[in-house]
Amino acid sequence: MSSCSPPSESLSALLEQVGPALSRLRRRTAGGRWDLTRNLVLNLVADSLGEMTISGIATEMRVTRPVASRTIAACIVDGLLRHADSPSNGRRTVLELTDAGDRELRRYASEQRETFERITATWEPAERLQFAQFLIRYSQGTGTRPSMTHHHDGAYASATVAHGTESPTRTAYGSVLTSAREEAPLPSPRP
């Protein structure tokens, strides 16, 4: 073992702190729980590669449909989301971001960036850059992992997310990145 590699006990103890550290980071972002939930819903709609429904949100959030429905209803009342008829199935209703919803995503991303910059203000620029790159990489996942994919027929199926298969996605800061998603053919995402 090299002098740079920590003993396995130290690595294990360090890895045990990752979950609590992520929780602390969520709490340090302005706005509270409602902002976090609303941001999650808005990002799920914005990032969907196909049509997003209430059931799709519930599946992605891993909550019951009534829980997702209440959150979505609040977003609709606030003018952040709207219902629209599905172009592929006129009997189904899908969710779309409104202009206000898009502005809210950008506002929240700006707050997240300010929090990141405040927390890392005393870090060396190279450390900040590397951490940002690792954080984005971590959020995208590496290798292969199962993901719930919404097919345009309304069914959900497990898809393989394979490293190297590229499709555009929005980051928490609203910029477009390339993610490692391999999806079944879907209608084009909204611009």
Which domains, from first to last, does the chain contain?
24-179 (1.10.10.10)
- Least confident range from 12-16, 24-28, 93-97: namely 24-28
Q: What is the pLDDT of residue 34?
A: 63
pLDDT digits (tens, 9 = 90+) for 138-150: 888 743 334 444 4
Residue 128, both tokens: 């900040």
- Residue 174 or residue 102, greater confidence: 102
> Cβ distance 92 to 81 under 8 Å?
no
Mean of pLDDT over the chain: 74
Q: What is the mean pLDDT of residues 10-26?
A: 84
pTM over 0.85: no
Q: What is the pLDDT of residue 141?
A: 78
